[in-house]
Amino acid sequence: MNPPGRRTAAVLALATALAAPFEGLRNYAYLDPARIPTICYGSITGVKLGDHKTDEQCKALLGEEMLVRVQTVDRCVPGLPINMLAAWASAIYNTGEQLVCNVKTSTAARLLKAGQLIEACHQLLRWNKATVGGVLVPLPGLTRRRAAEEELCLTP
């Protein structure tokens, strides 16, 4: 993989600094509140209970996975300012790309596509829920995270 350019590196640094404390570091695989096998800083790709990674492996994994999210946001909503790109990358690291890419199901994606960037940032607060025991419920950690992402999104 080629090293990211200066702009992408800045976005990547912001997004990972924002997401990492909310995700928390867990070196052994565990089930998250939605009962999804998770490891490191919230990674779910190919994770099986019993998996283990070192701190260094977890940091590298977060960087690789966040870079994909940055590129995804940039593909779906090209040309966003650095702060907004980082906020949305952090958000889709947690929620999935539909938040910014699927204009049929996401108000945020429609607002981003229409260039209504400030209004779109306010939509982040709506994505504070997870399915727990078959019921969609707000989670305090997600509520705090979305507020931090909104704040970054609105900060020039």
DSSP string, the chain: -PPP-HHHHHHHHHHHHHHHHHH--EEEEEE-TT--EEEETTB-TT--TT-B--HHHHHHHHHHHHHHHHHHHHHHSTT--HHHHHHHHHHHHHH-THHHH-TTT-HHHHHHHTT-HHHHHHHGGG--EEEETTEEEE-HHHHHHHHHHHHHHH--
Which residue out of 32, 51, 150, 151 is catalytically annotated?
32
Q: Please list the residues that pair with 40 across neighbouring strands.
A: 26
**Which amino acid, residue 92?**
I
Q: Quick check: is 23 catalytic?
A: yes
Q: Please list the residues that pair with 138 across neighbouring strands.
A: 129
Which residue out of 23, 65, 74, 97 is catalytically annotated?
23
Residues identified as active-site: 23, 32
